[in-house]
Amino acid sequence: MAAVALVQGASRGLGLEFCRHLLQHRAPAAVIATCRDPDTAPALAALSGEYPDRLAVMRVDITREEQVRSAAERLSSTFPKLDLLINCAAVLHPSGRGETSLRDVSAQGITATLATNTVGPLLMAKYFSPLLKKGTGAFGQQPEDKAKQHCGVLVNMSARVGSIGDNALGGWYSYRMSKAALNMATRNLSIELGHSHPKIVCVSLHPGTVNTDLSRPYHKNVPQHKLFSTQYSVQCLMDIIDSLSMDKSGKAYAWDGSEIPW
Ligand SMILES: NC(=O)c1ccc[n+]([C@@H]2O[C@H](COP(=O)([O-])OP(=O)(O)OC[C@H]3O[C@@H](n4cnc5c(N)ncnc54)[C@H](OP(=O)(O)O)[C@@H]3O)[C@@H](O)[C@H]2O)c1
């Protein structure tokens, strides 16, 4: 059967572009796009109109566990396997801007950010890993040694600012903490899903600074050549995904393939 990829958080930004890229460049792969409200995702609806036989759209708010669980149940009744899961959805902060200092921190803001950026992707891993375990290794590199081969790839979209070792500037408490914790989830997942048979490759990826709604409040501070288009960033990230194997699992990589310290 052709490859099956699921992009979680696909209404706009990088998630939407991952879907477009997979549909344009990975035929005949089937793509499942999840978003919290398909009725307010016109670009995704248009893409679905272009590829009615290969793109399925499902409603999933990742802060609602019952929606994640029921989406996994529905998917497994339609598809026998999943080869790639990309956890894309995130918020910078409910206010749209990261905290610049402690006085901006609120319990509500940090809790909501963690729920979307950290807990949501982990719930996706919980409910969709059984389907990933039925994957046929359609993404990434497979060594000849069968014991080192993988069946699926799980990508958590993270951010360089989630690196504790790389943090020299401070600020953005909620977003930084949510991505640092997501990186810990990636590492844990790589251990649990990498020891069993069949094995799943789990990585965190940083897309660069990309021209999307999430980074929009900060675009004026970014030199033009460092503000990537979604097309460029996704091409770079797909090149990394294509190069993945079990020995690269449990790590974080930037858009250019370099490893990011935890
Ligand atoms: N853009 C950058 O410069 C940059 C840099 C580093 C890392 N990243 C990471 O890259 C990933 C994609 O970011 P982006 O720039 O594409 O962001 P974006 O354009 O702001 O899109 C965010 C996506 O997350 C979805 N989302 C938010 N809360 C959700 C929820 N509870 N349930 C389901 N979906 C939800 C949004 O859906 P709605 O349309 O329903 O709101 C939207 O599809 C994120 O993980 C982000 O942290 C981005």
Q: Is 214 within the bounds of a domain?
A: yes
Q: CATH code at 210?
A: 3.40.50.720
The kind and range of the H/E element at 199 are strand 199-206
Residue 133 to residue 129: CA distance in whole angstroms = 6
Provide the pLDDT for residue 1: 82
Residue 260 lies in a domain: no
pLDDT in tens, 53-87: 999 999 999 999 999 999 999 999 999 999 999 99
Residue span of the structural domain in which 98 resides: 4-254
How far from chain centre, in Å, is Cα 120?
A: 11
Residue percentage of the chain with pLDDT more than 70: 100
Based on the number of CB atoms within 10 Å of its own CB, is 233 exposed (0-12), middle (13-18) or buried (19 or more)?
A: buried
Residue 261 falls inside a structural domain: no
Residue 28 lies inside a defined structural domain of this protein: yes
Alpha-carbon distance of 101 to 190, in angstroms, equals 33
Cβ(59) to ligand 1 under 6 A? no
| 90 and 66 Cβ atoms separated by less than 8 Å | no
The protein residue whose alpha carbon is closest to atom 6 in ligand 1 is 159
In a domain, 19, yes or no: yes
Give yes or no for residue 197 having a pLDDT over 90. no
Rounded distance from Cα 117 to ligand 1 centre (Å): 9
User: Does residue 7 register a pLDDT over 90?
Assistant: yes
Of 151, 145, 91, whose CA–CA distance to 120 is shortest?
91
Distance 15 CA to ligand 1 centre (A): 7
Closest residue by Cα to atom 25, ligand 1, is 89
Number of domains in the chain: 1
pLDDT of 110 above 90:
yes
Q: Which atom of ligand 1 is nearest to the CA of 117?
A: 45
Residue 259 lies in a domain: no
The confidence score (pLDDT) of residue 196 equals 81
211 inside domain: yes
Distance CA 168, CA 9 (A): 29
Ligand 1 pocket member 98 (CB < 6 A):
no
Q: Does 240 reside within a domain?
A: yes
